[in-house]
Amino acid sequence: MIEITSLTKRYGSHTVLDDVDFTVPSGSVAAVVGPSGAGKSTLFRCVNLLERPTAGTVRVDRQELTHLSRRELRVARRAIGTVFQSANLLRRLTAAQNVALPLHFLGLPGEETQQRVRELLERVGMLHRANHYPAQLSGGQRQRVGIARGLATRPSVLLADEATSGLDPETTGSILRLLTELRDDLGVTIVVITHEMDVVRSVADVVFQLDHGRIVEYGRVGDVVRRSDSALATALLPDQLAPRPPAGELVWQLRYQAASVDPAWLSRISRALGTDIALLSGLVETVGGEHAGRLTVRISAHLAEDKVTHSFAGYGIHARVAEAASELTAVAS
């Protein structure tokens, strides 16, 4: 578990993190998102105390880290594994030697280190590349080695800073599946710093949006995408917008509000309203084990809007007429 309370970080008169609070439950994956300059990287460095906070506390597995001495902190950091963007491997060392580095610093015997490195490389699917150097590995392979190195000290917490940045979709998917396996099989608590919303939807249990050094929205990912039309909710599950409708019809924006929605809702609501419903675009996914969806449909303008709204609400779907001109432009990317 990670507990951060009133965390503040200043550089001179410039405040980068401003009274940040958040908790990540044990065995879950949390994503921290936000624009460039929001303070994500500083938060990352403060969690593992690479940067000392100006104020506030950081607790990992209920141990308060911010007031430990350097010696005590070196011991406490064993509970926190770190995965950097582009893996950050030492190029003159093989994959196995890179993974072994933290174990050498701990003074583990050579035989025990070799066995642990073998286990870790097998866990991340890289045992067959143990003797290859970073330049001989693909980006995804380097990242897997970086994850193995982050797990070397058997941490309870793993911090991943833009771990999938620059990777192709297939490789990104494999890294995300690996992180999910680590959570499920080892019970590791994972914090992912990312700007990729696909990553958040795929792997995160909870999400925190950081902006100008403050947490401006947070919650379980499934709850966030269903509960509101906030900037974070829309970024996680974007509206798929459509061209202006012909005369006599209205475009409606739909959002799943219920955790489970009848998959036959389109035909059933169409029959109940006595009119065709044209599905223009949509995105429906399973997020955190629950349904999440945003869709755009076209319905006859002759129907009373409150009747249409009520019909959709009966199936756990929030519906509103797309009134703004910007909502009736070309299909969004």
pLDDT, tens digit, 9 for 90 and up, residues 82-97: 998 777 899 999 999 9
Domain that holds residue 10: 2-227
Q: Is the pLDDT of residue 208 over 90?
A: yes
Mean pLDDT is highest, among 85-94, 101-110, 131-140, 220-229, for: 131-140
Number of domains in the chain: 2
CATH code of 183's domain: 3.40.50.300
The one-letter amino acid code at 4 reads I
- Asked if residue 80 belongs to a domain, the reply is yes
Whether residues 163 and 275 fall in one domain: no
pLDDT tens-digit readout, 287-311? 777 788 889 999 999 999 999 999 9
Tokens at residue 45, please?
């460095």
d(CA 58, CA 22): 10
pLDDT attached to residue 133: 96
Tokens at residue 303, please?
């129907």
- Torsion angles phi and psi, residue 281, rounded to 5: -170, 165
Average pLDDT over residues 235-244: 71
Three-state secondary structure readout of 255-276: EECCCCCCCCHHHHHHHHHCCC
What SS3 class is residue 2?
strand
pLDDT attached to residue 124: 92
Whether residues 99 and 202 fall in one domain: yes
Among 44, 111, 108, 127, smallest CA distance to 80 is for 44
Q: Could you tell me whether strands 317-321 and 249-256 are parallel, antiparallel, or unpaired per DSSP bridges?
A: antiparallel
DSSP state of 183: I
Average pLDDT, the chain: 88
pLDDT tens-digit readout, 170-189? 888 888 888 998 899 889 99
Whether residues 300 and 273 fall in one domain: yes
Whether residues 241 and 104 fall in one domain: no
d(CA 206, CA 238): 18
Q: Could you tell me whether strands 249-256 and 290-300 are parallel, antiparallel, or unpaired per DSSP bridges?
A: antiparallel
Whether residues 126 and 263 fall in one domain: no
Q: Is the pLDDT of residue 239 over 90?
A: no
